[in-house]
Amino acid sequence: MAQIVLTGASLTVDDVAGFASGDVRVSVDPAALDDAEAAWKLQREAIARRAVYGRTTGVGANKTVVTEGTADDSLRLMRSHAGGVGELMQPGLVRAMLLVRLNQLAAGRSGVHPRLLLAVAEALNSNSLPAVHRIGAIGTGDLTALAETALTLTGERPWATGAIEPVQFGVGEALGFLSSNAATLAEAVLVAVELRKLLRASHAVAALSYIALGGSPEPYATTVHEAKPHPGQVECAAEMRRLLGMTEVPKPGRRIQDPYGLRAFPQVQGPALDAVAYLEKVLTTEINASTENPMISVQDNDVYHNAHFHTAYVAVALDTARATMHHVAELAAARLGDLVEPDQTDLPAFLASGPPGSSGVMILEYVAHDALAQLRQAALPVTLGSAIVSRGLEDHASFSTQAARQAGQVAAAYRFVLGCELVAAVRALRMRAADLVDVPVRAAYDHMDAILDPRMDDRTLTEDVERAAAALSALAAS
């Protein structure tokens, strides 16, 4: 069985995605446990000599209220903040959330005792998961989700699956555990990996449409993209050249100018590739960061009050990624429109095969544009809003939580848009199979040809679209 050893500094987005869905165990590096214990001891010393937020005081606007400094303070904080509502998180997301939080705690700056780290690891390895509600955060700490988790660890709340022996939270350890955006980061990581896969699959789908439409190789030439070398654009053009077996000196196409769906594909796909790569970079930093406020620094023998709980980087990166995905989806819908147009394919309208007036794949455009409309709404920015809470003390919010949720909606909608294009492209190539020469993208065609219904008569296409959408993950590796 695979195992991830957490150090607080080396977790990857692929680790999180694999752990969410796979049979993977987790452990904490012994040195990280030592660091956590040193920070726990320093916290105890610090609260004896100075005011420490959430340890000797209340939280939020109660920062000036001196507390008794007992373990009961921790329990009250967890109980009062465990107020999430709405549907429960799916098990994979909860596993990802716990892994991210455990890795952050392994960085050794939270002030919580190692027993809490070991308890979270035990819960994950036994698939003991808390019941966590999705609604309750605005991008400045997933307080409700982590409070529900903490109360489950103490035994006050029932486990959703499995169970471990209750663990005690000591003085000040509640805030040390709650001070994180682990749930938001987990959701953002899972969708970032999903978007990366869909963008990879987009190359294969666009390449199949290119062949069906008799596209021109000129827009993908190396010389063209050396003249405007944005990284994602260069990457897209190179991948299309690979999939289509293009030579360095392109031959003229059947048209002097292709539609934008083919001709501008690198210029539109490129920003999405760059945006998702940047999102993954931001998330890699965040899942390996010490997000706690206050932060316990053994190195400086002191406590730092800070704002690492704020996730503006994550929110902005998610907003950008969603916007670029919308542009990519628009091109997919445009290519679908080209595929049903006889002037573009030299095939019957709507790729119909039957008596006059047959509809063929006509309905796919309606389905794709419905999904595109949903995607468009989910792509709207959330970072333009804000919130002022806790009696005006906390006067800004990133709403990265909502940005991550909407990114999931974008991915789901784009999967259907791309699935509709894929069904049409495969159908067009079936109608003129001789045009599909032996190039690398042939593997993608063969895969789809084997799983899509071969009938050309007018029939329900629901299952075809669903199969195509599900197959995109496999095409990402083609």
The 3-state secondary structure of the chain, one letter per residue:
CEEEEECCCCCCHHHHHHHHHCCEEEEECHHHHHHHHHHHHHHHHHHHHCCCCCCCECCHHHHHCECCCCHHHHHHHHHHHCCCEEEECCHHHHHHHHHHHHHHHHCCCCCCCHHHHHHHHHHHHCCCEECCEEECCCCCCCHHHHHHHHHHHHCCCCEEECCCCCCCCCCCHHHHHHCCCHHHHHHHHHHHHHHHHHHHHHHHHHHHHHHHHCCCCHHHCHHHHHCCCCHHHHHHHHHHHHHHCCCCCCCCCCCCCCCHHHHCHHHHHHHHHHHHHHHHHHHHHHHCCCCCCCEEECCCCEEECCCCCCCHHHHHHHHHHHHHHHHHHHHHHHHHHHHCCHHHHCCCHHHCCCCCCCCCCHHHHHHHHHHHHHHHHHCCCCCCCCCCECCCCECCCCCHHHHHHHHHHHHHHHHHHHHHHHHHHHHHHHHCHHHCCCCCCHHHHHHHHHHCCCCCCCCCCHHHHHHHHHHHHHHCCC
Q: Predicted confidence band at 249 (pLDDT cuts at 50, 70, 90)?
A: low
Per-residue pLDDT of 315-347, as tens digits, reads 999 999 999 999 999 999 999 999 999 999 999
pLDDT of residue 435: 66
pLDDT of residue 128: 98
Share of the chain above pLDDT 90, in %: 83
Segment among 56-65, 71-80, 295-304, 424-433 with least mean pLDDT: 56-65
Mean pLDDT value across residues 172-189: 95
Whether 248 has a pLDDT exceeding 80, the answer reads: no
Mean pLDDT of all residues belonging to the chain: 94
pLDDT of residue 67: 83
* pTM, full prediction: 0.95
Mean pLDDT value across residues 350-366: 96
pLDDT of residue 434: 61
pLDDT of residue 250: 67
pLDDT of residue 253: 73
Whether 262 has a pLDDT exceeding 70, the answer reads: yes
Mean pLDDT value across residues 457-472: 98
Q: Which residue has the higher pLDDT, 444 or 47?
A: 444
Per-residue pLDDT of 123-150, as tens digits, reads 999 999 999 999 999 888 999 999 999 9
Per-residue pLDDT of 403-452, as tens digits, reads 999 999 999 999 999 999 999 999 999 998 766 778 999 999 999 999 99
Segment among 36-45, 185-194, 435-444 with least mean pLDDT: 435-444
pLDDT of residue 48: 86
pLDDT of residue 12: 98
Whether 393 has a pLDDT exceeding 70, the answer reads: no
pLDDT of residue 255: 87
Share of the chain above pLDDT 70, in %: 98
Q: Which residue has the higher pLDDT, 378 or 391?
A: 378
pLDDT of residue 296: 95
